[in-house]
A and B are shown apart, each in its own frame.
Chain A
Amino acid sequence: MPDVRIENVTKRFGKLLAVNNVSLHIHEKEYFALLGPSGCGKTTLLRLIAGLIKPDKGKIYIGDRLVNDVPPEDRDIGFVFQTFALFPHMDAWDNVTYGPKVKGFDMKKAGTIGHEVLEMVRLNERLNAFPNELSGGMMQRIAVARALAAGAKLLLLDEPLGQLDAKVRNDLRYEIRRMTKDLGLTAIHVTHDQAEAMAISDRIAVMKKGSIKQVGTPSELYMAPDNVFVANFIGESNFLEGYVADEDGKKMTVDLRGEIQIEVTKDKARKGERVVLAIRPETFLVKKGMIGEENSIAGTVERVTFEGTNIRYEIRLKNQDLIVIVKPSMAGEWLHVEDEVTVSFSSEKVHVFEYPAAGLKEEIAVE
């Protein structure tokens, strides 16, 4: 049964290190996302699993079988391409039944499978249309149906929704997840869209520059990021730089710019170390006026943006750091530009990271 194990896999394209010593275990029947900015190596990793390219080093197992030397047609996979790659010289029906036919099934059996998968993607009309006559959403459904018709238990999807309009994209992503779950497939889904990955995946691997930065469920990645890159790439974070001033028991004190101290839950960092605090915009408490509360900093509202569900404030703290705070727009009183406010930290919701050697900007950069 198809779980996928990747052991120390490396792939270079000339000078470019596309996949750097990656190990990963994708469980059977899991919906797994490879997430990262463009050029991070996620598509290369997917193509390595499919056998469209070969690794320079390392081993890839599908189920119990070492597949390094197995050509793609013998790996028993379904692959949905970003551009769909529907064969332009065949109509929708011939595209969908191509897999069963090249595998040598008789026409009748190929036909039965074709109808089944088209039923599944809810597309049983316009079967004589050629790809250039179909809408983006329809081409996408045909591409998925074609991959499913090959009968594989492992479905690989390379940015399958990237070419679609926003509304269609949202509908189709749940549909793809539903189908893979109904059929009991293992799915590996490559995307650069963190909202998409969060919405449909059981687990996500976040990649950057050929390496995996963290693997976890969507909530783990959001609630407990391992590093500043993940904290920034998944959701949104405010970053404040400082030094650990003191540590005792469960708490430690961090010196921020402008001689401000705040207290956070104890982390690995040691006294004297340079650190970065990552704080989600919705975890702050904001009150109007200058109130001398514990663990708080005074500031001034610089910009207010109404975003529909939420309202977003940019606040200049008195130490000149700029932070973003997000509040539900339907709850409480709104703040206005130039309001004086007090911002309080909840010490258990602040993530403390060692200051990155390469610098903070470089570490969180997505390009």
Chain B
Amino acid sequence: MSKQKVIQALDAASSRRSIKYAVYLVAIILFFALILLPPILGIVIHFTAIQVILNNPALENRALTAIANSFMIALFVAAIDLIAGIPMAWLIARKRSRWLSTLDTLSDIPFIVPTAVLGYSLLLFWNSPSGISALFTGSLISTGWLLVILLHFAFSFPVVVRVVVGALLDYKREFENASRTLGAPPFTASRTVTFPIIKPSLIAAFILAFSRSVSETGATFIVAGAFENGSIFLQNIKNTAWSFRQIRGIFGSTNPTFYGAIVFASFILIAVSVSIFLVVRTLGPRLKLPVNRIWPSFERKLSYSKAESSRNTATLAVFLAIVLIPSLFVALPAFQAIFTNTLSESLLGKGIWASYWHGLVLSYGLAAIVTVLNIIIGLPMAIAIARKKFGNVSSGILDVLVNIPLVVPSIALGFSLAIFWNTFTSIPQLLLLIFAHLTITYPYFVRSMSAAVERISIDMEEASRTLGAKPLGVFRTIILPLTKYSIFSGAVLVFTRSLSETGATMAVASTLKTVPLVLVNWIRPPPSQPAASPLQIGLGSGYLILLSFVILLASRLIVKGKGRY
């Protein structure tokens, strides 16, 4: 059969109701079977294991304190992100100029560079004697909670800025103009009109920043020192246990204490994250911003040039000093390494570099596989949600469920996933890694795709149907061409997210190490392994930054203003 005939046959098949729904149904079943249920059921099946912890008050306390730290830091960071991110987003969205669009690109860097690299960079900048601490005696900021906060701020700030800039660009300025003509100075206009209208995006930005903070593991481990949050607690337990190969179902024989601790902490982390997400999601829209109270003279003072320019200066200063420069500081040792024999050693794969290149190949291969899988199983789901193929209510529920892997701490998710699959079968480590990364990245892809599909007016689809296109034909000739750039940016998002992932990877991997894990091990080596030199770590980070830049530039060049109709 010719290609033409195959397409015709498929088109004809797609107009059969049963086949159309079967496609969506398969996508939904795969979502539940592979993505949503395993990480939830894993801990539920082995829930009884937590009894050991309840009998061990010291360990229980340690776990609870760590978990409380997770949420306090996440709440604090997400709040600060909004406070600092809104003025930055305002500046980028409203003052269009060449150097600001450069700034806009720069603000993507902490987003695309793997967080482990970011963690090391911050460690160098704030803590090591070669960084800013050189100006002081000893280290300026020692490892611990303060450095964790600075780190989480650095990688979540760009996410918040990106979301708020998008919301401000989509927002109809006419509302603000109306407010101004009615007598409101700029500050009052944005406080009483603009921000209440873009509130859903502010809530989304808050949730994203919050869950990124709760979830991040690798980089946090690098800067945490003796400090523990939920994810680091799990990581520490695993590290202790791993040397004895003692966690049942994951790595062989059992140490009930460690096993119980992992189930206990994972369960609480998952349950609390999901609850917070649901609460913010349901109560957020009802949260009223105080638009009826107005302080005319005070707000007037905040509105005009002096206040505005000092606000902009402060915003830029925060961005440069706390986000950008610390994030890129690792470039310094990377450059130094170029002029030593570290470069040739690395290129020849000598010594510890062999594991680095293995890790790199594994990371990129894994990211590629996960990206392709996401497109195949995520696209029908995104369309089902955007076009409400299963009615308003079920589409709304699916929309919420899809977000859950995003808000759950990834290391807890990884453990639960591993426990689930190992209960039934002895699953290869690589497959487990693929499942874990698929679960973590799936929400990013489906969310961005369903938003892209929603932007296509249903009129286009209807016009195409009236002109004789079958459902698959509509997809092929309308949806696909109109969303191809969104698919591409969604794929880039998935790819970079997978490259950066550490939490779930740490949980499910024992011998396979992705490149961020290799770096984490170099920086904080387990007892059996010798530490890597700063030049080696710097160069290893440098390669990753370089590759990330290539991806960023390539994707910018390909998409470049297209994809918006």
Q: Is B181 an interface residue (CB 8 A)?
A: yes
Q: By the criterion CB–CB under 8 Å, are B292 and A50 in contact?
A: no
How many whole Å from B174's CB to the nearest CB in chain A?
Answer: 4
Q: Chain B, interface size: which category?
A: 20 to 34
Q: A73-B180, A89-B197, A150-B182 are in contact. Are A81 and B174 (CB under 8 A)?
A: yes
Beyond the given pairs A71-B186, A81-B177, A150-B183, 19 more chain A to chain B contacts, judged by CB atoms under 8 angstroms and listed by A's residue number, are A71-B180, A72-B181, A73-B181, A73-B182, A78-B182, A79-B178, A81-B174, A83-B174, A85-B174, A86-B178, A87-B193, A89-B197, A89-B199, A99-B182, A99-B183, A101-B292, A102-B184, A102-B294, A103-B296
How many whole Å from B302's CB to the nearest CB in chain A?
Answer: 13
How many whole Å from A95's CB to the nearest CB in chain B?
Answer: 9
Q: By the criterion CB–CB under 8 Å, are B183 and A102 in contact?
A: yes
Give the distance in Å from the alpha carbon of A52 to the alpha carbon of B182 in the complex. 12
Q: Is B175 an interface residue (CB 8 A)?
A: yes
Q: Is A98 an interface residue (CB 8 A)?
A: yes
Q: Is A249 an interface residue (CB 8 A)?
A: no
Which of B8-26 touch A at CB < 8 Å?
none
Q: By the criterion CB–CB under 8 Å, are B182 and A146 in contact?
A: yes
Give the distance in Å from the alpha carbon of A50 to the alpha carbon of B185 in the complex. 14
Q: Is B196 an interface residue (CB 8 A)?
A: yes
Give the most central of A52, A79, A83, A98: most B CB within 10 Å: A98
Partner of A73, one of B184, B192, B291: B184
Which of A285-307 touch B at CB < 8 Å?
none
Give the distance in Å from the alpha carbon of A71 to the alpha carbon of B175 in the complex. 16
B170-214 CB contact bits vs A (8 Å, 1 = yes)?
Answer: 001011011111111110110011001101000000000000000
Q: Which residues of A contact B197 (CB under 8 A)?
A: 87-89
Give the distance in Å from the alpha carbon of A75 to the alpha carbon of B182 in the complex. 10
Q: By the criterion CB–CB under 8 Å, are A50 and B196 in contact?
A: no
Closest to B300 in A: A73
Q: Is A77 an interface residue (CB 8 A)?
A: yes
Q: Which residues of A contact B294 (CB under 8 A)?
A: 101-102, 104
Q: By the criterion CB–CB under 8 Å, are B175 and A87 in contact?
A: yes
Q: By the criterion CB–CB under 8 Å, are B177 and A102 in contact?
A: no
How many whole Å from A140's CB to the nearest CB in chain B?
Answer: 14
Q: By the criterion CB–CB under 8 Å, are A52 and B291 in contact?
A: no
Q: A90-B291, A150-B183 are in contact. Are A102 and B174 (CB under 8 A)?
A: no
Q: By the criterion CB–CB under 8 Å, are A52 and B175 in contact?
A: no
How many whole Å from B290's CB to the nearest CB in chain A?
Answer: 12
Q: Which residues of B contact A104 (CB under 8 A)?
A: 294, 296-297
Give the distance in Å from the alpha carbon of A150 to the alpha carbon of B180 in the complex. 11
Give the distance in Å from the alpha carbon of A77 to the alpha carbon of B189 in the complex. 16
Give the most central of A73, A81, A83: most B CB within 10 Å: A73
How many whole Å from B355's CB to the nearest CB in chain A?
Answer: 55
Q: By the criterion CB–CB under 8 Å, are B184 and A85 in contact?
A: no
Give the distance in Å from the alpha carbon of A51 to the alpha carbon of B181 in the complex. 8
Q: By the criterion CB–CB under 8 Å, are B177 and A89 in contact?
A: no
Q: By the criterion CB–CB under 8 Å, are B181 and A78 in contact?
A: yes
A56-95 CB contact bits vs B (8 Å, 1 = yes)?
Answer: 0000000000000001110101110101011111100010
Partner of B292, one of A81, A94, A103: A94
Partner of A71, one of B174, B185, B291: B185
Give the distance in Å from the alpha carbon of A266 to the alpha carbon of B87 in the complex. 67
Q: By the criterion CB–CB under 8 Å, are A72 and B180 in contact?
A: yes
Q: Which residues of A contact B292 (CB under 8 A)?
A: 94, 101
Q: Which residues of B contact A71 (CB under 8 A)?
A: 180, 185-186
Q: By the criterion CB–CB under 8 Å, are B181 and A50 in contact?
A: yes
Q: Which residues of A contact B291 (CB under 8 A)?
A: 89-90, 94
Q: By the criterion CB–CB under 8 Å, are A102 and B182 in contact?
A: yes
Q: By the criterion CB–CB under 8 Å, are A85 and B177 in contact?
A: yes
- B: residues with CB less than 8 A from A are 172, 174-175, 177-186, 188-189, 192-193, 196-197, 199, 291-292, 294, 296-297
Give the distance in Å from the alpha carbon of A104 to the alpha carbon of B296 in the complex. 6
Q: Which residues of A contact B175 (CB under 8 A)?
A: 85, 87-88
**A-B pairs with lowest CB-CB distance, top 6:** A104-B296, A79-B181, A99-B182, A85-B178, A102-B184, A72-B180
Q: Which residues of B contact A50 (CB under 8 A)?
A: 181
Q: By the criterion CB–CB under 8 Å, are A73 and B177 in contact?
A: no
Q: Which residues of A contact B297 (CB under 8 A)?
A: 104
How many whole Å from A30's CB to the nearest CB in chain B?
Answer: 20
Partner of B183, one of A83, A94, A103, A156: A103
Give the distance in Å from the alpha carbon of A150 to the alpha carbon of B181 in the complex. 9
Closest to B178 in A: A85
Give the distance in Å from the alpha carbon of A88 to the alpha carbon of B175 in the complex. 9
Q: A88-B197, A104-B296 are in contact. Are A73 and B183 (CB under 8 A)?
A: yes
Closest to B295 in A: A104
Q: Which residues of B contact A98 (CB under 8 A)?
A: 179, 182, 184, 192
Cβ contacts A to B, 14 pairs, < 8 Å: A52-B180, A71-B185, A72-B177, A73-B180, A73-B185, A78-B181, A78-B182, A83-B172, A89-B197, A94-B292, A102-B188, A147-B182, A150-B182, A156-B181
Give the most central of A72, A86, A103, A146: most B CB within 10 Å: A72
Partner of B179, one of A83, A88, A102: A102
How many whole Å from B193's CB to the nearest CB in chain A?
Answer: 6
Give the most central of B177, B182, B193, B291: most A CB within 10 Å: B182
Q: By the criterion CB–CB under 8 Å, are B182 and A89 in contact?
A: no
Q: Which residues of A contact B196 (CB under 8 A)?
A: 89
Closest to B296 in A: A104
Give the most central of A52, A75, A77, A89: most B CB within 10 Å: A89
Q: By the criterion CB–CB under 8 Å, are B181 and A102 in contact?
A: no
Give the distance in Å from the alpha carbon of A101 to the alpha carbon of B292 in the complex. 8
How many whole Å from B300's CB to the nearest CB in chain A?
Answer: 9
How many whole Å from B369's CB to the nearest CB in chain A?
Answer: 44
Q: Which residues of B contact A75 (CB under 8 A)?
A: 181
Which of A167-196 touch B at CB < 8 Å?
none
How many whole Å from A134's CB to the nearest CB in chain B?
Answer: 16
How many whole Å from B191's CB to the nearest CB in chain A?
Answer: 10
Give the distance in Å from the alpha carbon of A114 to the alpha carbon of B189 in the complex. 20
Q: By the criterion CB–CB under 8 Å, are A102 and B192 in contact?
A: yes
Q: Which residues of B contact A72 (CB under 8 A)?
A: 177, 180-181
Q: Which residues of B contact A78 (CB under 8 A)?
A: 181-182
Closest to B293 in A: A101
How many whole Å from A153's CB to the nearest CB in chain B?
Answer: 14
Give the distance in Å from the alpha carbon of A221 to the alpha carbon of B56 in the complex. 94
How many whole Å from B535's CB to the nearest CB in chain A?
Answer: 51
Q: Which residues of B contact A83 (CB under 8 A)?
A: 172, 174
Q: Which residues of B contact A73 (CB under 8 A)?
A: 180-185, 189
How many whole Å from A152's CB to the nearest CB in chain B?
Answer: 9
Q: By the criterion CB–CB under 8 Å, are A81 and B180 in contact?
A: no
How many whole Å from B94's CB to the nearest CB in chain A?
Answer: 14
